[in-house]
Amino acid sequence: MRLSTIAITLQSISLSITVLASYKTPHVAQENKTFDCVYNTFDATTLMNQISTINYYGGINQLRQIQSQELDALYTSRWGNAKAMYHDDGSTVTHYLYELQGIEDNINKYKYTLVVNNKVRACAVLERVIPQNSDMGDSEDGYSGSSLANSKLCSIR
């Protein structure tokens, strides 16, 4: 009985790792990266301009860190099998968040964050929708607590 319980547990762990790995894809050249969010698209030119800004203002040392398992949790809350994140060899455990220019309409604010690795390569883009009549307002511009959980990973084109 114990042996079968251990086998089932190991099989479910293996399945979880496979599912999490399926949303990542190896890095491509920066000029070939595009992220499609529900309400916006970020092309290679935009991404390279943002990375230049990060480097100009002190690099990743000025950015908030996020652990890979936090990004994995965001993916598990998303349905579908689209690729959503670029990765290196799997050794990167810390990523960095850079707030992008948001947009808004009469109903919602749309907040975007570029996720980069320690080499300042674009890895993912997060999208967060905040209703205009929300109590959060601009106090939730940064990622903390539940605001990260309310974000979605944009798809790689």
131-142 per-position pLDDT tens digit: 988 765 554 545
How much is the pLDDT for 70?
A: 86
Pairing between strand 24-26 and 85-87? parallel
Which of 4-13, 42-51, 78-87 has the highest mean predicted lDDT (pLDDT)?
42-51
DSSP 52-84: HHHHHTTGGGGSEEEEHHHHHHHHHTS-S----
Q: Tell me the whole-structure pTM to 2 decimals.
A: 0.78
How much is the pLDDT for 10?
A: 38
Host domain of residue 120: 2-156
Instruction: Tell me the one-letter amino acid at 86.
Output: Y
Instruction: Tell me the one-letter amino acid at 112.
Output: Y
Query: Is residue 152's pLDDT more than 80?
Result: yes
Work out how many domains the chain is built from and give that number.
1
In this prediction, residues 85-101 reach a mean pLDDT of: 87
DSSP bridge partners of 128: 111
Structure confidence by residue, pLDDT tens digits, 2-43: 544 444 443 433 434 444 457 888 999 999 999 999 999 999
Phi, psi (deg, nearest 5) at residue 71? -70, -35
How much is the pLDDT for 142?
A: 52
